[in-house]
Amino acid sequence: MPQQKHIQQKLANLRQHLVLLLQQTNALNSRGSTTLQSVIKRLSTPGDVKLQDYQANPLADLLPQIKKANATLPLMCQNMVNKVIDLADDLPWYQRPVVNNQSFMASHVNAQIIGPEGLEVRQDLIVGVTLMRPNIDYPDHHHEPEELYLVLSDGRWRQGNGDWHTPGLGSLVYNSSDLMHGMKSVNTPLFAIWCLPLDKPFTPFSTSISGPIGPSPTA
């Protein structure tokens, strides 16, 4: 019970800080702004903490590099990265299965912090994190829920058939419903948070590191 309360406090601090960070952004179109406000509103309500036994993060060796690069970020972004890293040992890490792409499979990992399969369990919102080794492409993919990526490292992003672009540290990338999108790391690890408001049950295809566990996140 003391551990659960400790994690509840960490999650509450993370939610509060994420709201403050998201509120600083005003460079989205009208649909993106509506999604942003929906995410902010849902973050004001906590879910239940669910502690489970998960395999350790297979890319934990990236965390020292991410901490070092984090020193170049704006202070609020630094704090956001640190709050996620502080929860890293308790997160339900998984790898998105992609056929015939072993390089990607070995070089990325995701976790739901908040969501149906998250550390904080709820059905109306997903907040997740992605880590990738340098010079790795995250394959193009799409999903019905709208999505906001919070960019917390160098990296490149693409939507549909558009050009690759660099959003900038601390920026938001808005993906509308079912929009094909992808990202890739450059010569440093990629670290990004993604937020999806859920208005109906959502079951994408993903696999936990230790095997299938049912509905899992989208990234």
For the stretch 63-106, pLDDT in tens is 999 998 888 888 999 999 999 999 999 999 998 888 888 889 99
Tokens of 90: 């308790």
Asked if residues 91 and 113 have their Cβ atoms less than 8 Å apart, the reply is yes
Q: At residue 30, does pLDDT exceed 70?
A: yes
Give the lowest-confidence range in 27-36, 50-59, 168-177, 181-190.
50-59
pLDDT digits (tens, 9 = 90+) for 12-21: 999 999 999 9
pLDDT, averaged across the chain: 89
Which of 21-30, 69-78, 192-201, 202-211 holds the top average pLDDT? Answer: 192-201
pTM: 0.91
Q: Answer whether residue 1 shows pLDDT above 70.
A: no
Spell out the domain ranges in the chain. 2-208
CA distances from 100 to 78, 103, 139, 203 (A): 35, 9, 12, 23
Question: Hey, which bits of 133-198 come out as E strands?
Answer: 137-141, 147-151, 156-159, 172-175, 181-184, 190-197
Q: How many whole angstroms from its chain centre is CA 122? A: 15
Output the pLDDT for position 211: 39
CATH T-level topology, domain 2-208: Jelly Rolls (2.60.120)
